[in-house]
Chains A and B, each alone.
Chain A
Amino acid sequence: MIRRKLLTTGFYLTILAALPLQAAFADDAFPEKPIHITVVWPAGGGHDLVARLLGNELSTIMGTPVVIDNVTGAGGSTGMRHIVNAAPDGYTIGVMGLHAVSQAYMNTNAPELDGLDPLAYISDEPGALQIRAGLGIDTLEEYIAAMQSDPMDLMNGNDPQGGNSFVFAEVIPAALGVEMMKLPYPGHAPTVTALLTGEVQTATLPVPPIIEHANAGTLHVLGVASEDRHPQLPDVPTFREQGYDIVVNDFVMMVGPKGIPDAVSAKLETSLLEAINSDGFRAAAERSAMVLRPLGRAEAATELAAQEELVYPLLETAGLVATELLRN
C-alpha cells in the first residue's frame, strides 16, 4: 500500500519535472518568440509603467508578444544581474536608471556597468526641489535665506543612499550653498506622503510623483535642475535661470546583456525608438510627466558614461563606494 502510494507520487513528480523541458531553437529571423523586458522594481512603479506601455507598442511593432518580468530585490541589483546574466540573444532586455549606476559602485554583488549594452535612451528625469505650501516660502531666494538662518528648520525627504532623490539632495544644496538635513524614505511614494503630511518640509523628488500636487498648489516647485523648463511645469524656472548652475537628472533607458549580435541589437534599437515615438506612448508619457528624449544605442552609451562620471564622485565623497570598487 505504502509502495503504491509512493509510486503514484513518483509518477506525478516525473511528469511535473518533465514539463519545462521545451527545447528552444535558435533562428536568424529575430524575433521569433516572446521578448522579455526585465523591470527591477515591483509592479506599479515608474519603470514598470514605462515597460508596460512600451511593451504594448513594441509587441505590435515587432509582431511578437512582450512579457514584463518584475525581478526585484536588493535595491535593484537582483534584476540587473538577471539582465547581465541572460543569454545575449535579444530576448531578455531591461529598463534601467540611475539606481543601477549607484549600485554598481555600492554593492560588490551588483553587476558592473560594462556588462550592459545600452539599446535606447528613453527619457530624462530632471531633479527638482519642492517645498510644502503654507510655510511662507515660495521662491528659491526665500528658501536659501531661510536655510542660511537655520539649516535645521527645514528637513528634506529623499531616498536612502544611492536613490535618485538622494543624489539630487547631494547636488542641489551643495550648489545653492546651504546645509540640508536629509530624512530618508524607502521610495518616492512615502516621500510624497511625508511632504504632504508635513513630516518633512522640502523634498528633492523628480517631477512625475509630485506633478499633481504641484498643480493643486499643495506644494511649490522652487526649481528644476534641467537645461530647459519642464514641459509639464512651464511656469517653474530652472535653477540656471535663477543663477545657479545645477543640471542633474535621472534617466530611463533600455539595456541588454553585453554581446547581443549587431543585427539583433540594431533591430531592437529601431523598434524601441519607433515604440517610444509612437503616439500612444508619447501621450501616456506626457500624462505621467516624463521628459522624452529618444536616443539610439551610441548616444545612450555616451549618456550612461556621463552619468557614471557624475555619480561616482558623489558616492565616493559620501563614503559609499565599496572598498573593492574604489577607483585609484
Chain B
Amino acid sequence: MLLSAFTDVLMEFATDPRMLGLVALGTLLGLVLGAIPGISSTMALAILMPVTFAMQPGVAILFLMSVFMSSVYGGSISAILMKLPGTPASIFTQIDGYPMAQSGRAGHALTYALVASTVGGLIGLAMLVLLAPVLAGFATNFRSPEFAAVALFGIVMLSFASNGSTLVASVVGFIGVALGMVGFDALSDAQRMTMNTPMLQSGLNLIPVIIGLFGLAEILNNLIGFGRTTHSRPQIGKIMLPLRELTSRWKVMLRGSIIGTFIGAVPAAGSAVAVSIAYGQERRLSKDPDAFGKGHPDGVVAPEAANSASVGGSLIPLIALGVPGDTITAVLMGALMVHGLTPGPLLFTSSPTFVAWIYVSVLLALISTLVLGLGMIRAAVMVTRIPPQLMYVFIAVFCVIGAFAIRNDINDVYVMLTFGVIGFVFTRLGLPVTPLAFGLILGPILEENLRRSLMISRGSWSIFLERPISAILIAICVILITLPLFQWLRARLRPADIVRQSNKPL
C-alpha cells in the first residue's frame, strides 16, 4: 500500500514542472544557507518556514525537505574550502577536505563529499522506507545506559581518530569532555565551572569552539609564515573525478551510511555523533591511517555519507514514533505541525500518503542536490582563487559572524577567539585538536546518560551489563582498548619478524 502511494506521489511531483522548480529553489537556498558558517540546517529550516505558511501541506514538505537535504551538503562546502564547518555535522569533513583543497584538489574534495552525501542519503532513505518499523523497534531499546555506552564507544574511537600518540589524543579528548561540563548541568541545572559569570553560564557551544579551533587557528598559523614563504594559491585542478575513484570507495560509503542511519535512528544522538564515529571507524580500518588529516579522500567520504544517511535515520523515530531524533527533525516536526500534520504512531495507518510525501520529497531533494551541487562545484572552487591576504580577511569575518549567529550571543565570539588561540598554540606544540571536538560532542552525552542510568539503578553499575546492547558495546570498547596490549605482549614473546606483520594498526 505504501509503495503504490509512493509511486503515485512520485509521478505526481516529478511530472509537475512547478514542483520541480520549487525543489530546485529549495535546494539552491539550502546549499547557500548551509554553506554560510553559523547557519545550521536547523536555522535554514526555521528561517524559511514562514515562506511555506501559505502553501499546501504536500508542497510545503517538498520545499522544506529540499532545503533540509541540500543544507546538509551545503555545510561541507565552507568546511572544505575555508576550513569553516557550516554545520556541526561537517566538523569532520574539513579535517581531510581542507588539506585536499589546499593541495589543488578542491573540486575532487567537493565531488567526493557530494557523491558520498547523495549515496549516504539514498541508503538512509532506502533503510527508512524498508526498515522503519524494525529500526524504530531497535531505537526504542535505546535508553540511558545504551546512550552512555554509545558515547563511551565514540570516545574509545577518538583515540583512533588522530595522528600521533594515542595517549596525547586521549588526554586532549578528556580536556574536551571537561570543557563540555561548563555551564548549567543538564540534569540538575547546577552551575559548573562558570565562576558565576554570564559568559560561562551559556556553556561552550560546539560551533564557536570548532570555528575557533579550526578556522581562526588556521589563519593565525598562516599569518606566522605570512610574507616569508611565497604563498602560492592552490591550483583548482580537475573538477571531475574518474568514476573509478568514486566507485572504488563503495565500501567506505556503505560503512559510513550504515553507521549514519543507525546512529541517526537513535533519538537524541544526532548527526554529529554519527560523523565522529564514522570518521574514527574509517581511520581505524584504513590501511593508511597516517594519511588521514592530510587530505585522504576516505576522510571526506565516510563522514559525508554518515551525515547524509543520518537524515534518513533520524526520520525513522520521527515518522514511526513521533519522536524527533535531533534538533533538526524537531524543527521539521514543528514545521509539519503548522501544516496540521503531526508525525506519530498513527501516521502509517491514518495517512500513508503523508508518509509517501516525505519519502518522495527526500528522494527528489537528494537528486536535485546532486545535480545542482555538481553544477555549483565549478563556481564554488573559484573561492580558492581569491588571493590569500583577502581570503584570510573573509575567513576571519566569517569566523566572527558564524560564532555570533548560532545563538545571537556576543560571548560566543569571545569563546571563538579564545579557542582560535588555543588551536593555534596546540598546533604549534604539535598537539592534535580533533579529539577536543570529539570530547566536547560526546562528553555531555556520556555524562548525562551515565548519571541518569545510575539514578535509575539506584547507584548500581551493573545496569550497564544487564542490558544486552550496552553490554555488547562495552565489550567492544574493552576489546579495542586491550588489543594493542595483546599485540605488544605477542611481539615481546615472538621473534622480530612477526613484529613487523603484527605492527600494522588496528
How many chain-B residues does the 8 Å CB contact rule pick out?
63
In angstroms, Cα B140 to Cα A184, docked, is 19
B342 at the interface (CB under 8 A from A): yes
User: How far in angstroms is the closest Cβ of chain A from B417?
Assistant: 16
Interface residues as binary, B192-212 with A (CB distance below 8 Å gives 1, 0 otherwise): 000011100111010000000
Tell whether, in the assembled complex, residue B337 and residue A49 are in contact, meaning their CB atoms are under 8 Å apart: yes
Tell whether A49 pairs with B338 under 8 Å between CB atoms, given A108-B196, A199-B144: yes
Are the CB atoms of A73 and B201 closer together than 8 Å?
yes
Indicate if the CB atoms of B46 and A44 lie closer than 8 Å: yes
B455 contacts partner chain A, Cβ-Cβ < 8 Å: yes
| Segment at the interface with B among A119-127, A141-149, A155-163, A264-272 | A155-163
- Within B338-383, the residues touching A (CB, 8 Å) are 338, 340, 342-346
What string of 1s and 0s marks CB contacts (under 8 Å) between B430-465 and chain A? 000000000000000000100010011000000000
List which A84-121 residues lie within 8 A (CB) of chain B. 106-109
Which chain A residues border B455 with CB–CB below 8 Å?
183
- Residues of chain A within 8 A (CB-CB) of B49 are 52
- Tell yes or no: B184 within 8 A of A by CB: yes
Q: How far is the CB of A238 from chain B (nearest CB, A)?
A: 24
Cα-based distance from A45 to B337 in the complex (angstroms): 12
Interface residue ranges of B97-152 to A (CB < 8 Å): 140-144
Bound form: Cα–Cα A104–B140 in Å: 37
Quick check: A287 and B268 within 8 Å, CB to CB? Answer: no
Distance in Å from the Cβ of A281 to the closest Cβ of chain B? 11
Q: Which segment of B242-250, B308-316, B327-335, B478-486 sits at the interface?
A: B327-335
A177 close to chain B: CB less than 8 A: no
Q: Which residues of chain A from 138 to 178 have a CB within 8 Å of any chain B CB? A: 155, 160-163
B interface footprint on A198-242 (CB within 8 Å = 1, 0 otherwise) = 110000000000011101101000000000000000000000000
List residues of chain A with CB within 8 A of the CB of B346.
212, 215-216
State A155–B408 Cα separation when bound (angstroms): 37
B198 adjacent to A77 (CB under 8 Å): yes
Of A70, A106, A218, the most chain B CB neighbours within 10 A belong to A70
- Which of A68, A71, A160 has the most B CB atoms < 10 Å from its CB? A160
Does residue A196 face the partner (Cβ distance < 8 Å to B)?
Answer: yes
B contact residues around A296 at 8 Å (CB): none
Residues of A within 8 A of B330 (CB): 44-45, 189
Beyond A9-B389, A9-B393, A44-B334, whether A106 also contacts B201 by CB under 8 A is no
- In the complex, which residues of chain B have a beta carbon less than 8 angstroms from the beta carbon of A5? 226-227, 389
> Among B201, B226, B331, which residue has its beta carbon within 8 angstroms of that of A77?
B201
* A122 → B minimal CB distance (Å): 16
Q: Is A277 an interface residue (CB 8 A)?
A: no
Please tell me if the beta carbons of B50 and A184 are within 8 angstroms of each other in the complex.
no
From 1 to 43 in chain A, residues with beta carbon under 8 angstroms from any chain B beta carbon are 1-2, 5, 8-9, 12-13, 16, 42-43
Is A258 at the interface (CB under 8 A from chain B)? no
Chain B min CB distance to A132 (Å): 12
Chain B: minimal CB distance from A99 (Å): 10
Given contacts A16-B397, A183-B455, whether A75 and B345 have CB atoms under 8 Å apart is: no
Place the interface of chain A in its size category. 35 or more
State whether the Cβ of B324 lies closer than 8 Å to any Cβ in chain A. yes
**B46 to nearest A CB, angstroms?**
4
Whether B390 contacts A12 by the Cβ 8 Å rule is: yes
Within the complex, the shortest CB–CB distance from B343 to chain A, in Å, comes to 8
Residue of A nearest to B448 (CB): A186
Question: Smallest distance from the beta carbon of A190 to chain B beta carbons, Å?
Answer: 6
Q: Does B56 contact A (CB under 8 A)?
A: no
Q: Does B407 contact A (CB under 8 A)?
A: yes
Instruction: Give residues 178-198 of B contacting A (CB, 8 Å).
Output: 183-189, 191, 196-198
A189–B322 alpha-carbon span in the complex (Å)? 10
B64-115 contacts to A, CB under 8 A, are: none
B263 an interface residue at 8 Å Cβ cutoff? no
A212 touches B322 (CB 8 A): yes
Q: Is the CB of A13 within 8 A of B345?
A: no
User: In this complex, what residue of A is CB-closest to B317?
Assistant: A193
Q: Assuming A5-B389, A44-B334, A160-B185, is B344 touching A56 (CB within 8 A)?
A: no
User: Is B281's beta carbon under 8 Å from chain A?
Assistant: no
Given A42-B42, A49-B337, A78-B407, verify A109-B345 contact (CB < 8 Å).
no
Complex CA–CA separation, A44 to B49 (angstroms): 10
Q: Which residue of A lies closest to B338 (CB)?
A: A284
Contacts of B141 in A (CB 8 A): 197
In the bound complex, do residue B227 and residue A2 qualify as a contact, i.e. CB atoms below 8 Å apart? yes
Rounded to whole Å, the gap between the CB of B135 and the closest CB of chain A is 14
**Residue B403 CB within 8 A of the other chain:** no
0 or 1 for each of A254-282: is its CB under 8 Å from B? (1 = yes)? 00000000000000000000000000100
CA distance A98 to B233 in the complex (A): 55
Q: In the complex, A183 Cα to B187 Cα: how many Å?
A: 8
With beta carbons under 8 angstroms apart, the residue of B42, B186, B345, B389 that contacts A160 is: B186
Q: Which residues of B contact A284 (CB under 8 A)?
A: 338
Question: Which residues of chain A are within 8 angstroms of B338 by Cβ–Cβ distance?
Answer: 49, 53, 284, 287-288
Please tell me if the beta carbons of A189 and B323 are within 8 angstroms of each other in the complex. yes
| CA distance in complex: A211, B337 (Å) | 12
Q: A42-B42, A56-B53, A287-B340 known; A216 and B345 CB under 8 Å?
A: yes
A212 partner, pick from B140, B342, B389, B397, beta carbons under 8 A: B342
Contacts of B42 in A (CB 8 A): 42-44
By the criterion CB–CB under 8 Å, are B323 and A192 in contact?
yes
Q: How far is the CB of B272 from chain A (nearest CB, A)?
A: 15
Does B267 sit at the interface, judged by CB under 8 A? yes
Counting CB contacts under 8 A, is B419 at the interface? no
Q: How far is it, in angstroms, between the C-alpha of A73 and the C-alpha of B197 when the chains are bound?
A: 13
Smallest distance from the beta carbon of A66 to chain B beta carbons, Å? 9
Whether A71 contacts B393 by the Cβ 8 Å rule is no
B45 at interface, CB cutoff 8 A: yes
Give the CA-CA distance A320 to B446 in the complex, in Å: 26
Given A81-B198, A287-B338, 7 more pairs with CB closer than 8 A: A8-B387, A9-B393, A72-B408, A73-B183, A75-B184, A109-B198, A216-B345
Q: Can you give 6 contacting A-B residue pairs, CB < 8 Å?
A: A5-B226, A16-B393, A44-B330, A77-B201, A78-B198, A196-B321
